[in-house]
Chain A
Amino acid sequence: MTDGAVTVRTRKFLTNRLMQRKQMVVDVLHPGRATIPKTEIREKLAKMYKTTPDVVFVFGFRTQFGGGKTTGFGLIYDTLDFAKKMEPNYRLARHGLYEKKKPSRKQRKERKNRQKKVRGVKKTKVSAGKK
């Protein structure tokens, strides 16, 4: 595969003060190459906007038919704390900042059965201890 020049352009740039971030639509031109992995795009965006790549979150990349052009979305947070507050967990998990705890199947089913005996808000308090 010829390593053609990869160009990253941003469109529809918007500074979202309410969520302490900058959001934009990211266009990647990569003739002769497969779709660029998200880590590379994050590094390029970090260089463009002079931040570290750990506050840059990109998602939703779709390559156009025929190849060569990919469009996606990008968010650049002010600090990592804001990012941890604002971003959904699955995107944090992609950066390694979140681990989904998954109790075993048996324990989940037991919890469900304990919850069946209680009504309303008390359901959340049910799983406190194994009775």
Chain B
Amino acid sequence: MADDQVIAQDLPKAMDTLRDIKTQVDSVTGDMKGLLKKVKDGEISTAKGISFLESKYQLLLSYLINLTYVMLRKVEGGSIRGDPAVSRIVEIRTYLEKMRPIDHKLKYQVDKLVKMAAMGDLSENDPLRFKPNPDNLTSKLDESEAESEDSDEEKDSGKPKVYVPPKLAPMHYDEDTPVQRQQKKDEQARKRALRSSLIRELKEAHSDAPQEIRDSVGFRRSVETQDDRHQREYEEDYFVRLAVSKKQKRKQSQGMVSTLNQITKFGDTSALFGGEGGASSSKKRKRSSKKGKKGAKKGFKKRRK
């Protein structure tokens, strides 16, 4: 039968656990006997103590007693269904759970008392002795003036006071210091220079890896961006076609335009070799992009004239 097999498997484990329990119980009883003897002899006084802790270990004791009773019943083969011991166990468990956060809050006090008990009374200057004193926060100077002011204020405080926010002049907030900003710019310029075609061809010429020729539009473009995916899903769920704004149309058309005028531009590598070309290169880039849109139109019109 399956039951016998399960029992056979669990039997050695059960025997081991029982043996462990027995050894641990023996050691604990030995310690407890020593403690009890000390208390009886009057070496340790239990008169003054934290009542919270006392209730805690009384609860633990009764929990253990109930638990052993339940174990006894089960070992004898009787059922524990509907047994009051089980409900008592549950009750005590709930109490213990509720005591745990209180325990956490009292931790500081308990530690302090234990330290005091171990080392005797604390000296005058020990910081552990001080407790918060809110009276120290009020100013004790000019009490007469304060009193007269108070009486005036009390008359006015009959009306509810409107909250007036403090008037502060807004100041410009710079997240990066100028030095950090310069460092970031240098980093960006370096990365851009490394990606330029000159450096890439040098890398290809000197590396041993096989040359890859890719015919794709690029990783970023081939992977659908999150925005695009979101738009597509929305359109398919709601059976509508969303209007494309002018900005998006421009972005899409820019992706499709051929860039023949970029053939002779090999990329600005000054960031790697010399540090001064950075600012001027960014300015150059802006001018060239503007030329593409309006500059061409203007140029056409000028030529016609």
- Seen from chain A, the residues whose Cβ lies within 8 Å of a Cβ on chain B are 11-12, 23, 25, 60, 62, 65, 73
Q: What per-residue 1/0 map shows which CB atoms of B223-252 lie under 8 Å from chain A?
A: 000000000000110011100000000000
Which residues from B are CB-within-8-Å of A60?
235, 239-241
Which residues from B are CB-within-8-Å of A25?
236
A12 to B233, CA, bound (A): 11
Which residues from A are CB-within-8-Å of B241?
60, 62
Check if B256 sits within 8 Å of A12, measured CB to CB: no
A-B contact count (CB 8 A): 12
A23 to B241, CA, bound (A): 15
Interface size of B by CB at 8 A reads 6
List 5 A-B pairs, minimum CB-CB distance, nearest first.
Answer: A60-B241, A73-B239, A25-B236, A12-B236, A23-B239
Which residues from A are CB-within-8-Å of B256?
65
- Seen from chain B, the residues whose Cβ lies within 8 Å of a Cβ on chain A are 235-236, 239-241, 256
Which residues from B are CB-within-8-Å of A11?
236
A12 to B239, CA, bound (A): 11
CB distance from B251 to the nearest CB of A (A): 13
A-B contacts, 12 of them at CB < 8 A, read A11-B236, A12-B236, A23-B239, A25-B236, A60-B235, A60-B239, A60-B240, A60-B241, A62-B241, A65-B256, A73-B236, A73-B239
Residue on A nearest B232 in the bound complex, by CB: A71
A23 to B235, CA, bound (A): 13
A26 to B241, CA, bound (A): 14
CB distance from A64 to the nearest CB of B (A): 11
A23 to B236, CA, bound (A): 11
CB distance from B239 to the nearest CB of A (A): 5
Q: Known contacts A12-B236, A23-B239, A25-B236; can you find 9 more A-B pairs with CB under 8 A?
A: A11-B236, A60-B235, A60-B239, A60-B240, A60-B241, A62-B241, A65-B256, A73-B236, A73-B239
A7 to B41, CA, bound (A): 99
A12 to B238, CA, bound (A): 11
A60 to B240, CA, bound (A): 7
CB distance from B50 to the nearest CB of A (A): 67
A25 to B236, CA, bound (A): 7
Which residues from A are CB-within-8-Å of B235?
60
Which residues from A are CB-within-8-Å of B239?
23, 60, 73
A73 to B240, CA, bound (A): 8
A67 to B240, CA, bound (A): 21
CB distance from A11 to the nearest CB of B (A): 8
A65 to B254, CA, bound (A): 13
Which residues from B are CB-within-8-Å of A73?
236, 239
Residue on B nearest A60 in the bound complex, by CB: B241
Which residues from B are CB-within-8-Å of A12?
236
Residue on B nearest A25 in the bound complex, by CB: B236
Centre residue among B239, B240, B256 by max chain A CB count within 10 A: B239
Which residues from A are CB-within-8-Å of B236?
11-12, 25, 73
CB distance from B39 to the nearest CB of A (A): 78
A65 to B257, CA, bound (A): 13
A11 to B232, CA, bound (A): 13
A73 to B241, CA, bound (A): 10
